Structures are given as C-alpha cells and as structure tokens.
C-alpha cells in the first residue's frame, strides 16, 4: 500500500470516529464498556432522570469489585453503604439487561482482570470504564482508558464519548532484563524517568524487545500503570503472545470467526516511518527492582539506590518535602533494610496468576516475618482457583500466609482492608498517594518479588538476594 504510514494508535482510533466536531472533540464509538458499583450508580440515575435507555446492553459488562469485602463473601456485606452500591449495580444491570458478575459469581473479580481472562477484551477494540486503570486493556492493542461518571452515562445511552485525539508517544525499551526485574519494575522505572505528569495529553505505545518478549500479564501490568505517568492510556501491538493468550477464552471468537479476526489483528501495528510527537528510549540493563519512597508513582528508585535530595528535584520542592515528611523518610537515605508492617499483593496491576507464582517463588521454604501483616488478594475467582490448583496455596499456608477473596481491597481501601495510619506497606498496587491505602497509610509500590522479599524478612529487601 502506498498510503501514509500510520501508527497502531491511529489505526484503532480512526476506525472508531463517528464524527469529528470542528474545533472540538471526536465522537468516538466504544466497543466494550465495563462498569462497577462505585462509579455507575449516578450514571444510571442520570439516565432515569432524562428518560433514556441503554443503547447496546450487550456491550457493557458489570462486575462488583471496588468496595467488596475480601473475607466471608458468602455473608451479607456488612457496611450498609457498600451493600447499597452493590445492590444498585445489580438492580441497574438487571433492569437494563446488562450481564452482571456480582459477589460469589464464579466470574467475579477486578474489572481489569476479568475482562481479559474471559476473552471480552480483544485487539483493536475501544474500551472504557469508570476507573482510570482501564488502560490495562491496552496490552491487547486496544485503546482503553478511564472515564468519569458523566461519560459512563454517555456510553450507556449512546455507546459514544467525546474526546479530542491525544498526541502520540512511543516508549522503547530494548535489551535484556536482568534477574529479579519484572514488568512492574520496567514501568516504575519509566514513570520515575518521565514523572507522574510526563505523559499527560499523550497516548503511549510501548515498543521494543522488552515488551515483545513480555507475557500478556506483564504487558497488562505495564499498560495498567501508563495512567500513572499522566498518559490517557498505553498500548502494545498484538502478536503471537496476544493471540495465544486469547485463543479458547470464553468470549473469544471461534472457528472461522477466529481466522477472520486474526487477519485483522495482524494489521494492528505501527508502520515503518511513523513519526511520534514524543519518543523515548531506555535500556533494560539499567533497570533494577524498583521501589517508591514518596507519594506519587513517579517517586521511585532502584531498590539499592538512595532517595534523591531536594536539590536534584527540579519541580515541586515543597511537594517533595511534604511527601518525605508524610512518608517519614529523609533525603539521601537508602531504602534497603527499612522495617515494614504490611504487605499487599493484589490489584489489577499485580493480581494475576503470574504475580502469585512470582510471590510464591520467594516465599517457598521460608516463613512470613512476625512483624508483617500480609494481605494476599487474587484479582478474580479464576485466579484464586489457579492459585489452589497450582499448589501456590499450599506454599503460602506453609509459610504462614492466608489467602483472601478477590476484589480491589487495599489498592484503594474502600472496604475494610485499610493500612493503619503511620504504618508502612509494600504494595503491588499502582498508587502511593497520601491516604490511598487508608488515612495516614504509607505505601511503597513494588513488584510481587519485592513484596515477597519484604514479607519474609519484615523489611525492604532486595529480592535478588533471595533468588537462588
């Protein structure tokens, strides 16, 4: 073809534009819409007050995850406000004919975990949800991003939202990742370089050998956190790894439809010669296991490095000082050896089976440290089932850990899983904002390996010293 080279992002975006408003946004068709109990009730209220229906109920999927308890899910939810939101989700889904995976449904789990694992998320789709980590689905070559409740109402009523087309950024990471370095470390490293606002206004494509060689779950971890650098979303071009992951999943195309889909999916990549508005290159060899020391995800360092000094921080010295004060850390301190109180492994960032395999690889044959409370929360019932089937459960129990039930849990601490004020938590989730994991909680974001090393030693520990 002699047409102008085009990027993966442009191909997917342009295929979904219903109309472009001059000096305004594009009107953009949404293929899949996920809803959950927290950001949807007001959208349904809006529909009712305007007397509107849901235009394509079969393109929306509901799951309960944000404020669900992670123990005793068979009992009625105790918190009346949470119970009320769960009931609203169920009733609204029922009323409008939307499929609903509530608590105790075998398909229930965190929205960004259950979408891919059931084959709902497919390459080239546009996907939205009232949760900023919708960017996770970009791992399949989708344009996927979080929206607000007004936009949820728009999608329910018209299957469209309005968005100005973001600028394009490509982040290339090449080279070989060293031992103990995971997808989470790669993305924390990128955010530490770009800062928490460095990609605002952009949609990011992740390219290079590191992502090509990464599993789908790793790609999901990376795309999940693209929002933490301010990006609208992130995506990875689909390839054999993607197709193998999707094949055979419940809602994936089958037979002829599969063959036909595959032909299309193979066109979803950035052509040679495309110029991005912004492009970055990193070398995988420079990345070590990462950990954050501050109160935004950009405040991360290699685990063996020192916290920077205020002098090295170009922007926001006041915020930097406030952040360290909140964390109880000082500039130029090392992180290794700092005692911790809690470990949380879970969330849509690191709540998939590979994450628990990684966690178990370090925990195996060791014991949970006495000073640590650990919350081990699978991202979905399917993940929980795998944990049991693969014997990971036994390893955990032997080491003194308990397994909880699926949900967002301490990622945003809307349920009872709150880190107490002043306590330190090594967390595999995606945000370390003040109070994110509970009022006064101090969060250290890290990979499942770093979390495991902390869980068995009771302090910040380089997982490489525990890998044989």
Partner 1 sequence: MAYDKFTVLKSTAVPLPMENVDTDQIIPARFLKATKREGFGDNLFRDWRYNNDGSPKQDFVLNNSIYSGEILVGGKNFGSGSSREHAAWAIYDYGFRSVISSFFADIFKNNSMNIGILPVQVSDAFLNKIFQAIEAYPNALVEVDLPEQKVTIVSTGEYEFFDINGYKKHNLINGFDDIDYLQAMKSEIMDFAQKSRY
Q: Are 128 and 33 in contact (CB under 8 A)?
A: yes
Q: How far is the CB of 10 from ligand SF4 (least distance, A)?
A: 28
Residue 111 interaction partner, one of ligand SF4, partner 1, none, beta carbon < 5-8 Å per kind: ligand SF4
- The phi-psi region of residue 384 (left if phi > 0; otherwise alpha if psi is between -120 and 50; otherwise beta) is alpha
Query: Residues 6 or more apart from 439 whose CB is under 8 A from it?
Result: 418, 421
Output the DSSP codes for 161-199: EEEPPPEEEEEEEES-PPTT--HHHHHHHHHHHH-TTTT
Cβ proximity to partner 1: between 25 and 208 the closer is: 25
343, two tokens: 């470990």
CA–CA distance, 105 with 82 (Å, rounded to integer): 17
Among 6, 90, 193, 197, binds partner 1 (CB under 8 A): 197
Among 33, 59, 66, 184, binds ligand SF4 (CB under 6 A): 66
Q: How far is the CB of 431 from partner 1 (least distance, A)?
A: 6
CA–CA distance, 172 with 210 (Å, rounded to integer): 8
Among 155, 252, 408, 452, binds ligand SF4 (CB under 6 A): 408
- List b or e across 320-337, with b for residues whose CB sees 16 or more CB atoms inside 10 angstroms: beebbebbebebeeebee
Neighbours of 269 (CB within 10 A): 18
- Per-residue mark of binding to partner 1, 289-318 (x: CB under 8 A): -------x------------------xx-x
260, two tokens: 């036909």
- Per-residue mark of binding to partner 1, 63-92 (x: CB under 8 A): ---xx-----------x-xx-xx--x----
Among 8, 35, 110, 387, binds ligand SF4 (CB under 6 A): 110
CA–CA distance, 386 with 400 (Å, rounded to integer): 19
20, two tokens: 């472009």
Q: Is the dihedral of CA 245, 429, 405, 99 positive or negative?
A: negative
Residue 112 interaction partner, one of partner 1, ligand SF4, none, beta carbon < 5-8 Å per kind: ligand SF4
Q: How far is the CB of 5 from ligand SF4 (least distance, A)?
A: 35
Among 122, 154, 188, 411, binds ligand SF4 (CB under 6 A): 411
Query: In this chain, which stretch among 41-49, 100-108, 214-222, 281-289 interacts with partner 1, using CB under 8 A?
Result: 41-49
Query: In this chain, which stretch among 2-10, 185-193, 321-329, 405-413 interacts with ligand SF4, using CB under 6 A?
Result: 405-413
Q: How far is the CB of 113 from partner 1 (least distance, A)?
A: 18
Among 8, 30, 35, 111, binds ligand SF4 (CB under 6 A): 111
The greatest distance separating any two alpha carbons of the chain, rounded to the nearest whole angstrom, comes to 65
Residue 110 interaction partner, one of ligand SF4, partner 1, none, beta carbon < 5-8 Å per kind: ligand SF4
Q: Is 47 in a helix, a strand, or coil? A: helix
Query: If binding is defined by CB under 8 A, does position 431 make contact with partner 1?
Result: yes
Q: Between helices 353-363 and 381-389, what is the axis angle to 10°?
A: 40
Query: In this chain, which stretch among 108-116, 304-312, 360-368, 434-442 interacts with ligand SF4, using CB under 6 A?
Result: 108-116
- Residue carrying structure tokens 């790894």: 241
Residues 112-141 that bind ligand SF4 (CB under 6 A): 112, 131, 133
Q: What are phi and psi of 126, to 5 degrees?
A: -105, 130
Query: If binding is defined by CB under 8 A, does position 429 make contact with partner 1?
Result: no
Residues 331-390 that bind ligand SF4 (CB under 6 A): 347-348
- Per-residue mark of binding to partner 1, 9-38 (x: CB under 8 A): ------xx-xx-xxxxx-x-x-xx-----x
The half-sphere exposure of 245 on its side-chain side, counting CA atoms within 13 A, is 23
């Amino acid at each position: 073809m002699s047409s102008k080279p085009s990027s993966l992002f442009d191909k997917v975006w342009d295929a979904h534009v219903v109309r472009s408003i001059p000096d305004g946004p594009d009107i953009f068709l949404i293929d899949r819409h996920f809803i959950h109990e927290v950001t949807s009730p007001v959208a349904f209220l809006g529909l009712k007050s305007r007397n509107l229906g849901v235009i394509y109920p079969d393109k929306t999927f509901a799951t309960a995850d944000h404020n669900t308890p992670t123990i005793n899910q068979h009992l009625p939810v105790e918190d009346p406000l949470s119970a009320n939101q769960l009931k609203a989700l169920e009733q609204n889904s029922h009323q409008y004919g939307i499929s609903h995976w509530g608590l105790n449904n075998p398909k229930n789990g965190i929205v960004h975990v259950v979408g891919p694992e059931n084959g709902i998320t497919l390459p080239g789709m546009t996907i939205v949800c009232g949760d900023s980590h919708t960017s996770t689905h970009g791992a399949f070559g989708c344009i996927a991003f979080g929206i607000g409740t007004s936009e949820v109402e728009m999608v329910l009523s018209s299957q469209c939202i309005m968005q100005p087309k973001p600028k394009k950024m490509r982040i290339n990471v090449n080279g070989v990742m060293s031992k103990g370095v995971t997808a989470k470390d790669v993305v924390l490293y990128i955010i530490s370089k770009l800062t928490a606002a460095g990609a605002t206004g952009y949609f990011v494509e992740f390219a290079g050998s590191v992502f090509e060689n990464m599993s789908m779950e790793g790609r999901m971890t990376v795309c999940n956190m693209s929002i933490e650098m301010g990006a609208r979303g992130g995506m990875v071009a689909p390839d054999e790894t993607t197709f193998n992951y999707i094949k055979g999943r419940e809602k994936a195309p089958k037979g002829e439809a599969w063959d036909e889909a595959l032909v299309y999916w193979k066109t979803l990549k950035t052509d040679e010669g495309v110029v991005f508005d912004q492009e970055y290159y990193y070398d995988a060899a420079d990345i070590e296991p990462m950990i954050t020391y501050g109160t935004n995800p950009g405040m991360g360092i290699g685990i063996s490095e020192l916290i920077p000094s205020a002098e090295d921080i170009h922007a926001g010295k006041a915020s930097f000082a406030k952040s360290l004060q909140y964390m109880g850390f000082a500039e130029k301190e090392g992180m290794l050896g700092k005692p911790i109180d809690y470990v949380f492994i879970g969330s849509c960032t690191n709540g998939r089976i590979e994450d628990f395999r990684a966690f178990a690889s370090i925990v195996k044959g060791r014991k949970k440290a006495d000073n640590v409370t650990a919350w081990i929360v699978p991202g979905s019932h399917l993940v929980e089932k795998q944990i049991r089937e693969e014997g990971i459960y036994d390893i955990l129990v032997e080491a003194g850990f308990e397994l909880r039930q699926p949900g967002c849990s301490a990622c945003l601490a809307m349920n009872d899983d709150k880190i107490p004020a002043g306590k330190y938590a090594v967390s595999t989730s995606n945000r370390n904002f003040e109070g994110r994991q509970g009022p006064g909680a101090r969060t250290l974001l890290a990979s499942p390996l770093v979390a495991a090393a902390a869980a068995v030693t009771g302090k910040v520990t380089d997982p490489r010293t525990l890998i044989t």
